[in-house]
Homo-oligomer: A and B are copies of this chain.
């Protein structure tokens, strides 16, 4: 399949809709001032074909998409022991709810809600991972140097009381081993990574390749089984409280972030990334989801 014309047609269809709906995340200034009228899409197939359209090379704050990569590192290094601290079920609640965390004694429902990603960050710290290691991992995966947006990281820290509440709450149940300040510092930084669609489409490439590194001659990123299981988690838990709707209408494993990016995977075929900053009421990119629906419809690619 030749994907470039498909991406071009999606870009053409989405572009007139930019600025017409949704709301750019505004809880910190650095996110609030991103123009809503942006749309980018990029993909890379397993056999190396690339395509991109729109603002595919404009960097944005990857936010919760980072949870995909910290999870991958933790799964690779800890194996099934990771699941002693974190569940694998959809939350059935808004992404930062404390209710279920209380009912389940500080064990987050899955690694993609905030509490779960904070618990993953705690595991990584215990394994010796530091912020620099995460950047090195992202750079290695995308083939280009990746950095934090320090302003975003500082703003996350300055306003992140709810995440501090989550971390302290889990700590009160004995489910966080490291110092809370260190754990949330890593978490706030991972959310503040800046990347563009092309880089994220590259970086997620191991998920459609049975865990193999997307670029030639590099070591394995995850086992084949782990890569497929991460796809399963993306499908059931990757898009906040809209995972069921996304599976229903798009049918691909996705992980979104409030910066407006969404990474999607077609197993054994390709990885892609869309970006448009205005969010729907679930916190997912409104036009990003629309673009993925167009993509699934035009290519017929769906896991179902």
Contact = CB atoms under 8 A, between A and B. Distances in A.
A172 B242 CA distance: 24
A303 B267 contact: yes
Interface string A166-185: 11110110000000100000
A100 B91 CA distance: 12
Interface in A81-108: 87-93, 97-100, 102
A216 to B, nearest CB: 24
Interface stretch (A188-196, A232-240, A284-292): A232-240
Given A89-B243, A98-B98, A102-B99, A161 B168 contact: yes
Interface residues of A, number: 47
Q: Among the interface residues A91, A165, A244, A302, which one has the most CB atoms of the partner chain B within 10 A?
A: A165
A162 interface: yes
A164 interface: yes
A241 B89 contact: yes
Contact of A109 (B89, B92, B248): B92
B169 A165 contact: yes
Contacts of A165: 98, 164-169, 171-172
A161 B176 CA distance: 11
A249 B233 CA distance: 10
A44 interface: no
A277 interface: no
B89 A245 contact: yes
A90 B100 CA distance: 14
A228 interface: yes
Interface of A: 87-93, 97-100, 102, 109-110, 161-162, 164-169, 171-172, 180, 228-229, 231-233, 235-237, 241-245, 247-249, 251, 253, 267, 302-304
12 contacts: A88-B244, A88-B248, A89-B245, A90-B236, A99-B99, A162-B169, A162-B172, A165-B165, A165-B167, A228-B302, A229-B249, A231-B304
